[in-house]
Structure formats: C-alpha cells, structure tokens
Structure 1
Amino acid sequence: MERPAIHPYIPIIIGVISVALSAIFVKLATADPGVIAFYRMLFSVLLMLPIFLFKYRGEIFTLSKKDWIFSTIAGIFLAFHFILWFESLNYTSVASSTVLVTLQPIFAFVGTYFFFKEKISFKTLLSGAIAIAGSIIISWGDFQLSGSAFYGDMLALAGCALITIYLLFGQDVRKRISLITYTFVVYSISTVTLFFYVLIKGESFGPYSGSDWFWFFMLALIPNLLGHTLFNWALKWVSTNVISIAILFEPVGAAVMAYYVFNETLIAPQIIGGIIVIAGIVLFVVDEKKIKEKFFSKKA
C-alpha cells in the first residue's frame, strides 16, 4: 500500500466539518426524508458522472463478485441510514439526533473485531468511551424518555448502526479499487434504493420550491461529495474506528450551527460534553505508535 500524499487526519477533519452541515441543510428543506435523501444521492451521482466516464469507467469491469456484493450492501445501508436519520430530525433536536447517529464506535469496535480481526487497544477503548460519554452529556438536556423525542432518538440510533455497517463493508472494498469508482458505484446503488423507497412510499418527486432544490444540491455537494468522499478516501489507509472516533466531533459543530440557524439554545451539558468529545478525540490521535504503524508504514 502506497504512502498517502497527505496525513489522513487532514481530510478526515475537513470531512467532519462538512458532514456537520448535513443536519442543518436537512432541517432547512421541506420535503419528506426519503425525497431529500434521494435527491442528495442523485445529484451526487450526476456531479460525479463526467469524472467517472472520462477517467474511471474501465475500472468498473475489474470489480469482483465480492466487490459488487459488498458495494451493494454498503449502498443499501447508506440509503436507509439517510432515511432514518433525516426522519429523526423531524422529531428530536439537531444536537440529540447528531449525537446518537455519530455514536459509531459502539458498533465499529465490535464490527472491526469480528469482521477484520482488528485488535483494539486499551487507549482506543478509553478514548472512545470518553468521546461517547461527552456525546451523551451534550444531549442530556434534550433527551426525553417518552413521546416524539424518544422516537426520534431511536431512529437516529438505528441510523448510527446502519452507517457503521456501510463503513465496514466499504473498508474492505476501498482497499482494492479507486476512490472515484467505489464512491460512484455505492452512491448509484444508494440512489436506486432510495428511488424505489420513495416510489413505494408514494412520496412526491416534485415540484418543490427553489430553496428546496438548493438544499438538495448543497447536501450533495458538501456533506456527500466533500465529506463522505474524504472519509472513503481515508478508508484506504485507516480503520473504520479512526473515522468513527473523528465523527464524534460532528455534534459539536452541528449544535453550534443549530444555535445560530434555528435558535436551538446551547446549554451547559452541551458545552461540557463538547469539550469531553474533543478530549477523547485528541487522546486517540496522539497515539504516536498507532500513527506510525497505520499511517506512515511503507508496507501494507
């Protein structure tokens, strides 16, 4: 495996900032969750199509049966992750929803252990536990044990499990094919899945206001093509666990933006929790031995 041109943490940080905008764009759109997800993925595929056809179309014929199966599973789980998460934003706050949907280490630590036999160090477990604790504190003021907020929380938690499965299958395929080909294939499968979901649900494909179309496009451009594509790029050199830990910073950024856009007040637990989340992430990334072995090794 070749050495990356830049340290993988840099695009991961940019990716986290980009995906933090996702919840804001979704809440600004007025369409049904399935429709928002469909156009997000459709516009992403259309924007990628010229690059794929010009430079990478031949690579699609090199995909093995296993690659197609794993990519299909990843695309389907990505589609339903968006459906569940977008729906959760109709019932609970941006802070609660993004906190729950980014608790991926709970699932990723287990998944990478059983699927890829990756060893989990005590420092990894400790940093993950600290970051997760911080995420729970952020949403402590918003969590409700009954009513619509609780339903939204459960949808977000289910979405968390699905995005982790998407990353786990992507981690395997991404090591064998280019970023553009992998992303184009998975996003295309996700788009088709969402098309049939919207059709079966009887939701409307249009018409929508100009502002809705703008938010559909922005969802495709920033969280998808910039954010998730950077995560997919990083999967070639890092474990799903690394991305899952970093994504825990997303609720911090989303909560701050929700305060300015929707007047969702930041309370003391959210501020304290945000600091703890960052502390957990820092603890993980300063593991020098892990950096040397996983990011700067000249041999796979």
Structure 2
Amino acid sequence: MNKSNQRTNDTKDVLIELVAIAFLATGGIFVKFSSLPPINTGFYRVLLAFPFLFPLAYKYLYQLTKKDITILCLAGIFLAGDIALWNLSFSYTSVANANLLTNLTPFTVIPISYFLFKEKISPSFLVGAGITVIGVFILLGGKNNPSPSNYFGDLLAFCASIFYAGFLLITYRLRDRYQSSVIMFVSGFGSLLALGATAAVIEGLQAPKEWMDLFPLLGLAICLQVIGHNLLAHCQGKINVNLSTIVCLCQPVIASIYAFLIFSENLSLKEIAGIIIVMMGVYSVKSQYQKKTKKLAKEPS
C-alpha cells in the first residue's frame, strides 16, 4: 500500500467534512429563494463560483494532464446531473426528503468502491452504516407525511444521489495528485456546459432581472460550490470514500437543526432520537476506520 496516499480518517478531517456538509445543507434554502427556474439556478451557481475558485487553483493548473482534464470535465457532467435533479426535486418534494434522498450515495459508492478501489467492507462498517441510515429515516419520519405528489420529487432526489456518487468516484483518486480547488475549478467547465445545454433545451437560458435575484445565486456559488464541495473534495484526500459518504448522511440532520434555529421549528422527540442515532452511527463507522488506519500504520513497509 502507498503510505503517502493513505487516508488517515483523523477526527479533524471528519469535522472538516461536517463543516462542508453544514454549508451544503443550505442549498435548499437558496434554491427556494431563487427567482430563476431550477436548472438555470444550477447554471449560475457554477458560473458565479469561477471567480472565487480561480485564485485558489491557478498555481496548480499547470500540473494537469490532458487526460486528467478530460476526466475532471466528465466528473463535472456528473455533478451537473446531481445539481439539476436536486434543484428540480425541491419543486415536487420537501427540502428534508430531498436532502435525505440525494445523500443516499453510500448505496452506490460502497459497492462500486469495493470493486474499483479494493476497499473492503467489514461487518462493523455495515453495522455503523445501518445505524446511521436508520437514524436518518427516524429523523425524517418525524416530520414528513409522504403523499403521491412527493414520489416524483423523491425519485429525482434519489437519481441525484447516483450522479453525485459518480462525481465522488471519478474524483476520488485524482485527489491524491491535485488540490481540491483544482478539481472543483476544472470540473466546473463540464458542469457549466452540461447545465447550460440542459437549461437551454428545457427552460431556456434566463438571466437575473434585478440585483436582488443575484443573492440566492451567490449564496449557492459561495456556500455550496466554493466552500461546501471544495472542502468535501479536500476531505477526499484525507478520508476513505466509504466513510465520507456515511458522514454525508448528516446533511438532513443539519438541515433539521437549521430549521430549528432559523425558522423556530420545534424538533419532536422522534427527530431528536433520529439525530442522536445518526451521530452514533457516524461515530461507529469513523472509529472502525481509524482503528484500521492505526493498524496499517504500525505494519512494516
């Protein structure tokens, strides 16, 4: 095993990913406030992020090979699929359901990473992952009453999770060689092309009409594209992909906390129980990976 590329799964890196998730959890708020259609909103989210990402990435762009540029643009197309479907899902289902279903990436990432990256799935990992998923469903079950009108939006959000899993899997190994800002900057060109073409066909490309229309778009660009996804890409070089996707399941938990703090929505006992169970599951998975990493570190080269 190449120790230089070994992911240590340190507590500080898990906490950094939680910060990233906290920024990503604001996405539903900004999408709801946007005056533009969902796919156009996603297009401007990526476009407005470029001026912020370029100063972080330009020093390292010379390191890119043509092959890696192509791969990153492909990853950007997958991220565009996630953005478009996630934004669309808010028109049909609740913010909570969209946050849950779009973060079910472990069900795609874990099996594929087993074959691609030879990352073994231990019984203790499955137990921790199961606890986390149960906690998320308990949390959301305390707030939402599913109806037939939600099913289409739920399907869109779940399909978004598959596209996002594709983005994570494509960029996972590239994070060994490139800064997270480089990954987000270059993949943004693939996202911009895909979102622009899709918006032109489905909604027609539109522009913000007033200055106030820019604020939700800037919020999406800064909080999600520049900070959230950039920090998440940074953590890909520090945390195993399976653990990373499990930590992402905290996003619905954080979204519920936002609702409590910002909109004074009371948390039921069922929701509080769900939050506690999710944290227990994430801690269980994280502990299992850290024990594995320490064991590998003690082995002779």
Fold match (TM-score > 0.5)? yes
Q: What is the 5 A alignment of 1:1-300?
A: 1=4, 7-53=12-58, 55-60=59-64, 63-65=65-67, 67-140=68-141, 141-147=143-149, 149-259=150-260, 266-287=267-288, 288-292=290-294
Deviation at 1:293, TM superposition (A): 5.4
Deviation at 1:13, TM superposition (A): 1.9
CA distance in 2, matches of 1:136, 1:228: 24
Deviation at 1:270, TM superposition (A): 2.8
**Does the aligned pair in 2 maintain the 1:2–1:298 contact within 8 Å?**
no
Deviation at 1:262, TM superposition (A): 5.7
Shift in alpha-carbon separation, 1:299–1:265, aligned structure 2, 3 A: farther
Amino acid at match of 2:125: T
Shift in alpha-carbon separation, 1:233–1:299, aligned structure 2, 3 A: farther
Amino acid at match of 2:230: T
Shift in alpha-carbon separation, 1:110–1:20, aligned structure 2, 3 A: same
CA distance in 2, matches of 1:68, 1:48: 16
Shift in alpha-carbon separation, 1:216–1:120, aligned structure 2, 3 A: same
**Does the aligned pair in 1 maintain the 2:57–2:179 contact within 8 Å?**
no
Deviation at 1:130, TM superposition (A): 0.8
Shift in alpha-carbon separation, 1:202–1:19, aligned structure 2, 3 A: closer
Give a deviation string over 1:257-280, Cα, whole Å, max 9, x none.
Answer: 235556766444333222211111
Amino acid at match of 1:39: Y
Give a deviation string over 1:89-137, Cα, whole Å, max 9, x none.
Answer: 1111111111111122111211211221210111111111111111122
**Does the aligned pair in 1 maintain the 2:135–2:277 contact within 8 Å?**
yes
Q: Secondary structure at the match of 1:129?
A: helix
Q: Secondary structure at the match of 1:286?
A: helix
Q: Structure 1, unaligned stretches of length 5 or more?
A: none
Amino acid at match of 2:160: G
Deviation at 1:164, TM superposition (A): 1.0
Deviation at 1:2, TM superposition (A): 6.6
Amino acid at match of 1:286: S
Amino acid at match of 1:11: I
Q: Secondary structure at the match of 1:249?
A: helix
CA distance in 2, matches of 1:156, 1:223: 17
**Does the aligned pair in 2 maintain the 1:74–1:169 contact within 8 Å?**
yes
Give a deviation string over 1:188-233, Cα, whole Å, max 9, x none.
Answer: 2111211111112243422333333111111111122111111111
**Does the aligned pair in 2 maintain the 1:137–1:273 contact within 8 Å?**
yes
Amino acid at match of 2:93: T
Give a deviation string over 1:117-158, Cα, whole Å, max 9, x none.
Answer: 2101111111111111111222224252512x1111111111
Give a deviation string over 1:22-72, Cα, whole Å, max 9, x none.
Answer: 11221122211111111111111222223433x223223xx252x234322
Q: Secondary structure at the match of 1:81?
A: helix
- TM-score w.r.t. length of structure 2: 0.88
Shift in alpha-carbon separation, 1:299–1:146, aligned structure 2, 3 A: farther
